[in-house]
Structure 1
């Protein structure tokens, strides 16, 4: 009696590389889950070591890098008229200042996105919905956006759930329109989805919007401890990139039906008399 021979399951294929960075959306967000506009955005970015932020990302993602470096972003703006499905945007509850701390991620399917470490917003009800319904780390803060000519000032002072008192205050002067953004500027702004987790499972939420109108911006002043409150070691020095955009309308789609995990590694079996690869 001959001993049983091994049956080899096919090895999983190689992981796809990250999708290309494109200035225009790679997909349509249909059906639309959320509609909103992002207005008067100031983008501040610091270069950070990928190894430092990898533990802060959700399962199934790794830091997305540009020339071996990843980035931590502080983005201040005005959220305008958030709407659900095909309902019109809500004037009061759906319009408020927001400041988020975000990281850059890529998942095992090659999809690039952002990971929000915190989102300070000035409306309590949207904060509660974001935290409890979508597991997004919204926090309630006292906030303001003031414009004086070509200068914008954004302030944020955290109320709940904490750490109480975490704050940011920054002022930028808007410069000339960027006709041809660099590869890095596209990398930092052209993001067509967010990575998160829901009840321990990976979640990818796609979005779409017109191409960013970007401007150079001069950082006049800033004080913040939101990065530290989000679990990041404060990068040394000033931001390496400061940009401004008047804004875009945005649509978020439903999560796509893509398996959360890759196939399991090949396993051995003794159930068949000859060696072959299973279909």
Structure 2
């Protein structure tokens, strides 16, 4: 099995010297973003990280998708780990001049993957019951977190592409919201970076009907009442590196 990675496309920082450890293929990715005042969002990120903003605004992102392929380097896809549905809630931060993603939650319907990511990546993965299917070009997505509070962690929507594909322009909000190549996590006083590589997103504008959404209940509800900025991408092949402590 050839594990060499062909690096293509623009990256703001070079890849780590270490080999990648995980590959995934993400399908039917929807980016939903709402602007949030900087002073509100800052209350919810670790003090070690600096909030990243675009024209003075922070953004909350809710990103549903499903994973059609997932495997550890050197191994074939394992039957219990090869696919899953995932829904993440995120904002954008930087540390040491390197911009990346900060996750508030990541819901998934694969217990083994949730457990592994919580242990190895310190990420706030949550177990959820999820159903995703496509009919007549529309993706029907429903997720209900497995917890005792039915007012938190519920999401139901239908979405589809609504334009021809395009690549974001350098410096645009489209690029700023989607082109992120690392994640940041904290554990105690320590800060860790997880590098990610993929080619630049091929995006579509999207249409979406949101029927239920309590994924960002830590924010005042008024910030998610407006129309979100929507992007859709049919598929993306991504590679992950182990965490590095800064």
TM-score interval (norm. to shorter): 0.7 to 0.9
Of 27, 34, 40, the match for 1:52:
40
Shift of 1:156: 0.2
Provide, for residues 9-34 of structure 1, a one-character-per-residue CA deviation record: whole Å limited to 9, x for no partner.
Answer: xxxxxxxxxxxxxx733333541022
- Structure 2 residue 102 is matched with structure 1 residue 111: no
Q: Does 1:250 align with 2:238?
A: yes
Aligned to 1:147: 134
Distance 2:56 2:165 in 1: 25
The Cα shift of 1:170 comes to 0.8
Which of 10, 15, 19 is the aligned partner of 1:28? 15
Q: Flag the structure with more relative contact order, 1 or 2, with Cα contacts below 8 A and sequence separation at least 6.
A: 1
Report the counterpart of residue 71 of structure 2 in structure 1.
Answer: 83
Choose which of 157, 166, 171 in structure 2 pairs with 1:179.
Answer: 166
Which one of 159, 177, 181 corresponds to residue 188 of structure 1? 177
Structure 1 residue runs of 5 or longer lacking an equivalent are 1-22, 261-279
* CA distances 1:35-67 after superposition (whole Å, capped 9, x unpaired): 111111011110001111112223421111111
Structure 2: gaps (5+ residues): 1-8
User: Is the 8 Å Cα contact of residues 167 and 200 (structure 2) preserved in structure 1?
Assistant: no
1:158-169 aligned at under 5 Å gives the runs 158-160=145-147, 163=149, 166-169=153-156
| Alignment RMSD | 2.0
Distance 1:33 1:256, change over 3 A: same
Pick from 218, 226, 230: which aligns with 1:238? 226
Q: Is the 8 A contact 1:145 1:154 kept in 2?
A: yes
The DSSP-based 3-state class of the residue aligned with 2:115 is: helix
Residue in 2 that maps onto 1:4: none
1:94 equivalent in alignment to 2:78? no
Q: Equivalent residue for 2:30? A: 42
1:208 corresponds to 2:194: no
Shift, 1:253, TM fit: 1.7
Question: Radius of gyration: which is bigger?
Answer: 1
- Corresponding residue for 1:125? 112
1:197 to 182, 186, 206: 186
Are the aligned partners of 1:45 and 1:72 in contact in 2 as well (CA < 8 Å)? Answer: yes
The number of residues matched between the two structures is 232
